Amino acid sequence: MNTTPTITPDYAAIKSKQNAAWSSGDYSRIGVTLQITGEELAEAADMAPGSSILDVAAGNGNATLAFARRWCDVTSTDYVETLLNAGRNRAKAEGLNVKFQIADAEDLPFGNRQFDSVVSSFGVMFTPNQEKSASELVRVCRSGGKIAMTNWTPDGFIGTLFRTLGKHVAPPAGLQSATRWGERRWIGETFEPHARAITLTLKPFHFRYPSPQHFVDFFRAFYGPVHKAFLALDELGQKALNDDMLATIGSFNVAQDGTMAVPSEYAEIVIVRS
C-alpha cells in the first residue's frame, strides 16, 4: 500500500523568506487602499473607548488606526519593521497615541489574557504556522474579550489570485493556504473550543484601478508576494504570469469601461473569547 509522506514545513526558513517578501516592494502603497475594511472591523468589534487592543501582523496599520480613532489603547505589532514604521508615520500624522512593537505573531511577547481585544486585518492569516498563531491570539485575549479579523476567502478574487501565482511559483512544501482563515469550517474548528460566540460575515472589498494592467503593474512593483514571484521568473515566465493575472482579473471584473472594479470576498470575523 502506497502512502504519501507528511511533509513538515521548515517554518523558520519560510518565515525568513516571507519577511524578505513583505519587506520588498512597498506594501504600504497597497495597504492604504484597504482602509475601509479596518474601519468596518472596528465597528463590528464594537470595543468601548479605553479598551486595550493588540493589532497582530498589523502591516501599515489599517486596523490600528481604526481602533485608535475610536479612543482605544492600541498596541500595533508586526515582524517587518518597515511596515511598522509606515503605521507609525500614519499615526503620527493624525496625532494618534499608539504603541508600536516588533513582534512575531507565532510568539507574541505579551502575557496571558492581557488584552480586551486582539485584532488582525489581512495579516495573521499569512503566518506559516497557522495553528500556533491562532493559539497565540487566543492566549493573549482576556475572557469575554474579542478576537476580530478580516481574512481573504479561498474562492474570492485574492484567493484565486494566490492560486494563479502558485501555478507559476510553487509555494513552500507542506504549507497550508493562507485563505483557510477565511473558511467557516476552519475558523470553527480552530476557535470554537475557546469561544462563547463566533460571527463570520462575508463582505466584498472592491479593487478599483485605472485598468487591469495598471493593477498588475502596481502589485508587481509594491506587493511583496507578487513582486517576488515576478523576480523568480525569466522573461517568458513573467509574460505568462502577467497574462494569467489579467485573465484572473477578467473573470471577476465588473467594470465595462476598460477600468478595473473587482469585488474581492473576505470574511469579517468576531470571536467572543470564553
**The three cell numbers locating residue 266:** 473576505
Name the residue with cell 497565540: 136
On whether the pTM is more than 0.85, the answer is: yes
C-alpha 245/C-alpha 162 separation (Å) is 10
Q: What is the mean pLDDT of the chain?
A: 94
21, pLDDT greater than 80: no
Q: How far apart are CA 249 and CA 226, in angstroms?
A: 14
Structural contact between residues 112 and 140, judged by C-beta atoms closer than 8 angstroms: yes
**DSSP-assigned letters across all residues of 202-240:** EEEEEEEES-HHHHHHHHHHH-HHHHHHHHTS-HHHHHH
- What pLDDT does residue 23 have? 67
Give pLDDT tens digits for 242-260.
Answer: 999 999 999 999 999 999 9
10-24, 90-104, 226-240, range with the lowest pLDDT: 10-24
- 83 class by beta-carbon count within 10 Å (0-12 exposed, 13-18 middle, 19+ buried): buried
Q: Quickly state the pLDDT bin for 18 (edges 50, 70, 90).
A: confident
Q: The domain at 11-153+172-206+264-273 falls in which architecture?
A: 3-Layer(aba) Sandwich (3.40)
- Residue 235's DSSP bridge partners are none
- Distance of alpha carbon 178 from alpha carbon 222, whole angstroms: 20
Which is nearest to 60 in space by CA: 83, 41, 89? 83
- Which pLDDT band holds residue 2 (cuts at 50, 70, 90)? low
The structural domains of the chain, with segments of one domain joined by +, span 11-153+172-206+264-273
Give the model's pLDDT for residue 86: 95
Q: What is the pLDDT of residues 102-128, one digit of tens each?
A: 999 999 999 999 999 999 999 999 999
Helix 62-69 / helix 35-45 crossing angle, nearest 10 deg: 50
